[in-house]
Structure 1
Amino acid sequence: MSTMTYAARDSATMLRRNLRHMLRYPSLTLMLIAQPVLFLLLFVYVFGGTLGAGLPGGGGRQDYLAYIAPAILLVTVASVALSTAIHVAKDATEGIIDRFRTMPIAKSAVLTGHVLAAMVQTAVALAVVLAFAVLLGYRPDAGAVGWLGTIVVLALLAFALTWLCVALGLAAGSVETASNTPMFLMLLPFISSAFVPTDSMPAGLAWIAENQPFTPVIDTLRACLEGRDPGADLWWAIGWCVAIAVLCFGWARRLFARVRAV
């Protein structure tokens, strides 16, 4: 059996381990889904009338729902990624990773199992949140190509943010720190085109919003779901996701080699 085959088999075993943890503690998954749903309800039914009127060409609550739905999908991805940092930190601080090192398994499988489990959890959370948005009246105009683009961008974003949170979990030193360090992932969407157009912001803040990673991702998702060509935003979104994934994968590997239980 080749090295790659062993690594794939061990990664599948670690994936099953993490999925069983999720099934054993479903309250965390429910919380991860509830948070973006609450954001959706808050912004549509509390702020939607006012913010919808401020959209280009005006609009109402339903127009704002169409505008904000892609942002809520991004928040869902970030929310699940944040929980991964907690799971990784828990393994690192309780000595589980050191125990795995003594076993004849592929060392990469430990982190890969966390990433794959997070991807599965993200897919479930996205499906539930999107279904909830549809129940509220959201009607995306995406065709087959638009849905494919949406799925690819969300998958790339989930992969990149998960590796970032794996690294942050390993670097945290405690579960408490790991639960707080990635919180910027929940704050950055508010300084982007997620909830209001960037041209409505002051000049300095608008520059930050237009040049941070989440804005091209959100603009690409919005274009794909509306059946429009995302143009250059698609390539910026892919570039940001690939860069974050590659850099954080390397960072996580270096941290993993130095992890010791505390």
Structure 2
Amino acid sequence: MSTLALAVRDSTTMLRRNLLHARRYPSLTLNLLLTPVMLLLLFVYIFGDTMSAGISGGDPDRSKYVAFIVPGLLLMTIGSTTIGTAVSVSMDMTEGIIARFRTMAIHRPSVLIGHVVGSVLQCVLSVALVGAVAVAIGFRSTNATALEWLAAFGLLVLFATALTWIAVGMGLVSPNAEAASNNAMPLILLPLLSSAFVPLDSLPGWFRPVAEYQPFTPAIETLRGLLLGTGIGHNGWLAVAWCLGLAVLGYFWSTSKFDGEPK
């Protein structure tokens, strides 16, 4: 069997293993999903009128705020889902299963690839669930073309891949599952410090650079532009650059830590 065929076979096996774990222990994924869903319902039904008045010049319109907030919460959903990946990787590293895999004739990177592909699939399903809740409470994207929908989906998958590789690295350097969960918390906190809930120009001057120069804000603005027809400007290439940079960083970080573990 060729090296490529061996890699594909073993990666597929590891992917199946991770998906079975996710199916058998759905509580972690469901708990992580609750945060963006609860924030969506909280901001729309509790703060919706007030927040919509702030972004629409004093005219309360909850539907406008639903449209504004959903792109940010979709990306926040990806961040929260990848926390489960960090925990899963850490559990594999501390419970001895990796040592057993290393005694077997398998393609070594397939262990990490299985985690990454499985996590991206879970992110897509999680985004679909949160998106369905958003549609149920009034979100509409009537102006987006098929090409823009395809570009939005591609951005979400690319962003999920980038954050997943970072989460895998966090899981590898964490001594236990609890530490992995804590180390990965910035992946769900950064959206709170972005343009997800309020426009950048409404933030205090001293805080605006923090929100503007971080990976979530250009991705949110790009997704917002694709789905709602607002201007994207330079945010499109910034979002792609952040995704590619984080993916490459996470890949080399993860593979170096994994290969550096005792065999």
| TM-score category (smaller protein) | over 0.9
What is the letter of the counterpart of residue 54 of structure 2? G
Letter in 1 for 2:23: L
Asked if 2 retains the 8 angstrom alpha-carbon contact of 1:85 and 1:178, the reply is: yes
Matches of 1:162 and 1:259, distance apart in 2: 20
Aligned residues of 1:92 and 1:170 also touching (Cα < 8 A)? yes
Contact 1:115 1:163 in 2 (8 A): yes
CA distance in 2, matches of 1:206, 1:230: 18
Take 1:201 and 1:230, find their aligned partners in 2: how far apart are those partners? 19
Structure 1 segment 8-157 matched on structure 2, within 5 A: 8-58=8-58, 59-141=60-142, 142-157=144-159
Letter in 2 for 1:92: M
Judge conservation of contact 1:93–1:260 (CA < 8 Å) in 2: no
Query: What is the aligned-residue RMSD (CA, Å)?
Result: 1.4
Shift of 1:228: 4.3
Please say which of residues 104-113 and 181-190 is displaced more in the overlay. Answer: 181-190
Match of 1:259 in 2: 261
What is aligned with 1:231? 233
Identity %: 50
The question of whether the paired residues in 2 share the 8 Å contact of 1:149 and 1:224 is answered with yes
What CA distance in whole angstroms lies between the structure 1 residues aligned with 2:190 and 2:160? Answer: 15
- Give the C-alpha shift of residue 47 in structure 1: 1.3
User: Gapped runs of 5+ residues in structure 2?
Assistant: none
How far apart in 1 are the matches of 2:199 and 2:229? 19
The one-letter amino acid of 1:117's match is G
> How far did residue 229 of structure 1 move?
5.3
1: CA distance, partners of 2:25 / 2:47: 33
CA distance in 1, matches of 2:104, 2:5: 17
Q: Which amino acid aligns with 1:222?
A: R
What is the number of equivalent residue pairs in this alignment? 261
Deviations 1:161-180 (A, max 9, x none): 00000000000111110010
The residue type equivalent to 2:102 in the other structure is R
Which shows bigger deviation, 201-210 or 212-221?
201-210
**Deviation at residue 34 of structure 1 after TM alignment:** 2.3
Partner Cα distance (1:224, 1:145) in 2:
9
Match status 1:188 vs 2:186: no
Residue equivalent to 1:161: 163
Separation in 2 of the partners of 1:189 and 1:30? 19
Shift of 1:29: 2.5
Tell me the TM-score normalized by structure 2.
0.96
TM-score of the superposed pair, with normalisation by structure 1? 0.96
The CA deviation string for residues 56-81 of structure 1, in whole angstroms up to 9 with x for no partner, is 44442111110000011011100111
Match of 1:211 among 190, 200, 213: 213
The CA distance in 1 between the partners of 2:202 and 2:232, in whole Å, is 21
> 2-side partners of 1:123 and 1:255: how far apart?
27
Map Cα deviations across residues 173-225 of structure 1 (whole Å, 9 max, x no partner): 11110010111111111111111011111112111211111110000010011
1:113 shift after superposition: 0.3
- Cα distance in structure 1, aligned partners of 2:15 and 2:204: 45
> 1:95 touches 1:260 (CA, 8 Å); kept in 2?
no
Secondary structure of the corresponding residue to residue 185 of structure 2: helix
Instruction: Using the TM superposition, name which of 138-147 and 210-219 deviates more.
Output: 138-147
- DSSP-derived class of the 2:206 partner: helix
Separation of aligned partners in 2, 1:159 and 1:128: 18
> 2 CA distance for matches of 1:179 and 1:32?
11
Deviation, structure 1 residue 231: 3.1
Letter in 1 for 2:195: S
